[in-house]
A and B are shown apart, each in its own frame.
Chain A
């Protein structure tokens, strides 16, 4: 009897495990993108989803707000699969999630760097759509 109860408990625990594990597997990056999607929808009801091609265009866009940093690619390298370099000469890990798996997994860090770099390169804040497109592009390479 005791054994049966033990076995039952074990089976229950094993069955419960995937249910607990699934949200964790979705991961912090998905949560961050979902947050940007909600903000994008709130700003524009016509928003249907993020687009990697728009993210690529943003990454490669040449802007005029800063002579030293006209583009994301100026510091992050033309290919997001490769390491970049700050103006001061320090290496930056590649932006592509496939090469740097912990990219876009810490919301505070994500907002800090979008805040700084959008202001430097574009001379303004980035929209939620731009942030989501950017992450979508860099997550799919």
Chain B
């Protein structure tokens, strides 16, 4: 019984700690399906509008891969990402805070705040995780929007 209570307390504490780092996950079905076919559908709030525009404007060369979609799907996903971008309400939030206005990062991992929080990893870690775009390789709750489990 004591063990159960302890476990519950720990879980409760963990939840409180994690709540701070909760990131709105993609809740648009088409975006989830199409972006999520190759990588986790990254939360729109991780990048500013101009970054999403640049990405959705060049799916033909998406980091060296052709990720083309129909014109309709491209437009619908672009609209969703822009409406939920880090600076959708005007002021940048999250990782996009402090980003110079003339910078248009295409990778979330290029954001200065992301870099500061992630530091550098050993070759062995990167080999295990595979790619910096594999959030869930380290953050097991990433698909649910939880990132503060490191």
Proximity string of chain B (97-124) to chain A, C-beta cutoff 8 Å, 1 when within and 0 when not:
0000000000000000000000000000
Whether a CB of chain A sits under 8 angstroms from the CB of B65 is: yes
**Which of B49-57, B82-90, B131-139 binds A?**
B131-139
Whether a CB of chain A sits under 8 angstroms from the CB of B40 is: yes
Q: What residue of chain B has the Cβ atom nearest to residue A66's Cβ?
A: B64
With A88-B38, A90-B39: A120-B129 Cβ-Cβ less than 8 Å: no
Q: What residue of chain A has the Cβ atom nearest to residue B128's Cβ?
A: A89
Whether a CB of chain A sits under 8 angstroms from the CB of B20 is: no
Query: By DSSP majority rule, is chain A's interface helix, strand, loop, or mixed?
Result: loop
Q: In the complex the two chains form, is A88's CB within 8 Å of B133's CB?
A: yes
Q: In the complex the two chains form, is B65's CB within 8 Å of A89's CB?
A: no
Q: What residue of chain B has the Cβ atom nearest to residue A113's Cβ?
A: B37
Bound CA–CA A67/B64 (angstroms) = 9
Within 8 A of B (CB), among A83-107: 85-90
Residues of B within 8 A of A90 (CB): 36-40, 134
Interface size class of A (residues with CB under 8 A): 10 to 19
Whether a CB of chain B sits under 8 angstroms from the CB of A115 is: yes
Q: In the complex the two chains form, is B130's CB within 8 Å of A85's CB?
A: yes
Whether a CB of chain B sits under 8 angstroms from the CB of A31 is: no
Among A68, A69, A89, the residue within 8 A (CB) of B134 is A89
Bound CA–CA A69/B131 (angstroms) = 15
Q: In the complex the two chains form, is B66's CB within 8 Å of A119's CB?
A: yes
Q: In the complex the two chains form, is B66's CB within 8 Å of A115's CB?
A: yes
Q: What residue of chain A has the Cβ atom nearest to residue B129's Cβ?
A: A89
Within 8 A of A (CB), among B30-56: 36-40
Residues of B within 8 A of A112 (CB): 69
Whether a CB of chain A sits under 8 angstroms from the CB of B67 is: yes
Whether a CB of chain A sits under 8 angstroms from the CB of B58 is: no
Whether a CB of chain A sits under 8 angstroms from the CB of B27 is: no
Bound CA–CA A112/B69 (angstroms) = 8
Q: In the complex the two chains form, is A68's CB within 8 Å of B66's CB?
A: no
Q: What are 12 inter-chain pairs, A to B, with CB distance below 8 A?
A: A66-B64, A67-B64, A68-B64, A68-B65, A87-B63, A88-B40, A89-B133, A89-B134, A89-B137, A90-B37, A117-B66, A120-B66
